[in-house]
A and B are shown apart, each in its own frame.
Chain A
């Protein structure tokens, strides 16, 4: 009974009683959108969406998924397409092939309405008309394409300047926050960092041959709007070394407007290192040696406070989701690096390439770089990348005494030598 066709205008469509329930309510309904493609879409979209809706309703009835993977690719590339074949194709034949093209968006997700329309036109012609802005990995997800049309759709996207993103054991599509384009908190040029790293490593994206996935994410400050520390193997976070900039007049205005108690409760008390004092004349004093650049006070007093002038980036390595040893966050491995000149950007690119190369050479199959670091220990990772240990890499020094320390003195000498050169450099 469930899958008997019902009349809809002049043609038969699958009934979707379960999905119909998701059309009410104030939030925009994806079901209404799918139905519009079914009823008013291009002829190809209409047929595909009718069966797609049928299959989705079938999933809702039985609480089971009915897609399986496979292999589909475009000429010259080994990844970027997520193949989907229906396991209930005899009932829903028109959506039996429903592949996704992962397409890389412009860094920072900027579009004109004009380019969005072009993307829609291509997808209306070759695909199902269903698009997600964006997938959690940061791709534009063009969902619903037959095997035959996959190449055509890609060719058309590629002609207007878009390229496939990553899938499989490969470099994945990256994400960057709005940053420099519209945010005063931003501490480096996210667009340039994002594009120069990914575009120099495209081969690893388009021809998957890494042990497993590798993701970059770029946030302009520690607010980390693109969730880099949790979700990226290589997280680039903007920061600064000198003092927070304070406009004392604006501080006074803030205190006057919000009150002294509210300012104390929401700014002073919430500073994680108790680095802020409110003077008797309603000006602020910040102990910048104790400040950890968490962004909180700057977030609250957007007009009065801003990051210092000596800006740059920090890099955390090894974030990922659950499989297989549990969730990991990135570990701070580069506390500070300037990122202004061409040489700075080249240095970053080179470092990124070295980390990916290390990953390619040392990770076990299906292991993320964070798991590799857990397996071999951070000192071995640092040594491989020629990074010196730094107190900013830890919450606190080791508590376990099970370690062999017979070269402790040589290591200590290196530290003192580094301290001396750093002093000279400054």
Chain B
């Protein structure tokens, strides 16, 4: 490194690239002037511009974590069967843009043949939004891509058809920071034990005041342990959130006995009908059972089936539960309602029923 003689290259701070250089010409020509759309079949959108121009979009699922061979294969398909212009959705689906309707069916055929499911539109289960897990993050309690692979294998049929009451969006997060975000169903790591502190390392690795400041419930105190400066945790106060672990890796939060999985329901991003909402706890303490997570899959399947069988058209998960009530939700999914479902965090009172409205 030190023997590098040439001066380093000064970056060209170009910022966000201009998308118009890559955009399909029909999109560019009708930018801001679209009239209506419909979905001729699952996985296909037809958008009609005010000019009368038409563009077809074919949406396909990917594994998100892609090798260059997979990406080149998707590109080959785009060159041969579509117009060489693609985009990605928020949930890592690839979208091919095609101006000529006659090219839609062969494109779908080619994608299916190459193993990319076509779907994810309308009232379907789209790709699980997820993050890094064991593959790349420095604090994960579980994997992300593996959980997602298992869930999407199970829900493949619901991706390629539009038979849900409304769209169903699943997210996963491999620690309680929750990069995956809110979801109709959210599958998230839930720690069940306070961190186990390696006191030999704290002084060397951690900036102690920063770690103390990180704790949301002020459970961490500086302390001398075996004559060395370290930290101690008031285990009665600790809510096992794991927030102290990223700034101080010796505060190990992960472990076979402590890294569990919780499933949450009823989060919603869109403002359509009801306001956006956070997901709510359905069940905790499921085992972190790689590589197939069967207990998690079973719970997700039950929730999906109950929603599918009982919700009205256009009701999202949370809206359906609002109508039928939580009592019925726990009955239909055969999950337990416990004291841990009663919120204890700031503002908890707002989540209680302060009325005589009841579900029987």
Contacts and interface: CB of A to CB of B under 8 A. Distances in A.
Nearest to B85: A112
A147 B75 CA distance: 29
A34 B89 CA distance: 23
Contacts of B149: 22, 25, 27, 29-31
Interface string B178-194: 11111000000000000
Nearest to A114: B84
B124 interface: no
A299 B69 contact: no
12 contacts: A27-B63, A30-B65, A33-B65, A37-B69, A56-B143, A60-B291, A66-B134, A105-B88, A184-B37, A191-B18, A302-B38, A321-B179
Contact of B62 (A28, A113, A206): A28
Interface in A268-304: 270-272, 293-296, 299-300, 302-303
A295 to B, nearest CB: 5
A198 B141 CA distance: 33
Contact of A133 (B35, B88, B259, B315): B88
B102 interface: no
Interface in B288-317: 288, 290-292, 312-315
Contacts of A326: 345-347
B28 to A, nearest CB: 8
Contacts of A28: 61-63, 70, 115-117
A27 B61 contact: yes
Of A31, A106, A151, A294, chain B has the most CB atoms within 10 Å of the CB of A106
B153 A26 contact: yes
A310 interface: no
B115 A230 contact: no
Interface in A42-80: 45, 56, 59-60, 63-69, 74-77
A348 interface: no
A129 interface: yes
A130 to B, nearest CB: 6
B255 to A, nearest CB: 8
Contact of B216 (A104, A174, A198, A325): A325
B303 to A, nearest CB: 19
Nearest to A21: B291
A144 to B, nearest CB: 8
B142 interface: yes
A69 B138 contact: yes
B177 A321 contact: yes
A54 to B, nearest CB: 12
A303 B38 contact: yes
Given A112-B86, A295-B272, A321-B181, 8 more contacts: A59-B143, A120-B72, A131-B66, A136-B181, A182-B55, A223-B270, A227-B182, A266-B312
Contact of A266 (B47, B84, B256, B313): B313
Given A26-B153, A265-B312, A327 B278 contact: yes
B271 A63 contact: no
A262 B313 CA distance: 9
A296 B217 CA distance: 40
Given A174-B16, A202-B15, A224-B271, A132 B65 contact: yes
A135 interface: yes
Contact of B71 (A131, A134, A189, A226): A131
Interface stretch (B4-12, B221-229, B230-238, B330-338): B4-12
A123 B68 CA distance: 8
Interface residues on A, range: 35 or more
A180 B31 contact: yes
A246 B79 CA distance: 39
Contacts of B72: 117, 120
A193 B93 CA distance: 24
Given A30-B64, A111-B87, A229 B269 contact: yes
Given A324-B243, A325-B216, A65 B272 contact: no
Contact of B213 (A27, A84, A133, A366): A366
Contact of B272 (A22, A63, A198, A299): A299
Interface stretch (A155-163, A349-357, A405-413, A415-423): A155-163
What are the nearest 8 A-B pairs in CB distance?
A: A25-B153, A222-B271, A33-B67, A106-B19, A199-B15, A59-B134, A184-B34, A113-B75
B138 A68 contact: yes
A255 to B, nearest CB: 15
A294 B272 contact: yes
Contacts of B70: 28, 33, 36
A194 interface: yes
A24 B23 CA distance: 35
A424 interface: no
Interface string A90-128: 000000001010001111111111111100100110000
A136 B180 contact: yes
A118 B47 CA distance: 29
B16 A183 contact: no
Of A64, A134, A175, chain B has the most CB atoms within 10 Å of the CB of A64
A27 B180 contact: no
Interface in A295-340: 295-296, 299-300, 302-303, 306, 321-327, 329
A300 B216 contact: no
A148 interface: yes
B69 A84 contact: no
A296 B152 CA distance: 28
Contacts of A69: 138
A195 B18 contact: yes
Of A26, A105, A230, A366, chain B has the most CB atoms within 10 Å of the CB of A26
Interface string B243-262: 10000010000101001000
B129 A136 contact: yes
Interface in B125-158: 129-131, 133-143, 145-146, 149-150, 152-153, 156
B32 A180 contact: yes
Contacts of B129: 136
B92 interface: yes
B69 A63 contact: no
Contacts of A183: 34, 37, 47
A321 B71 contact: no
B185 to A, nearest CB: 15
B354 interface: no
B129 to A, nearest CB: 7
Given A68-B138, A113-B79, A229-B269, A120 B68 contact: yes
Contacts of A386: none
Given A64-B254, A104-B16, A123-B68, A113 B143 contact: no
B271 A199 contact: no
A130 B254 CA distance: 27
Contact of B182 (A222, A230, A270): A230
Contacts of B210: 366
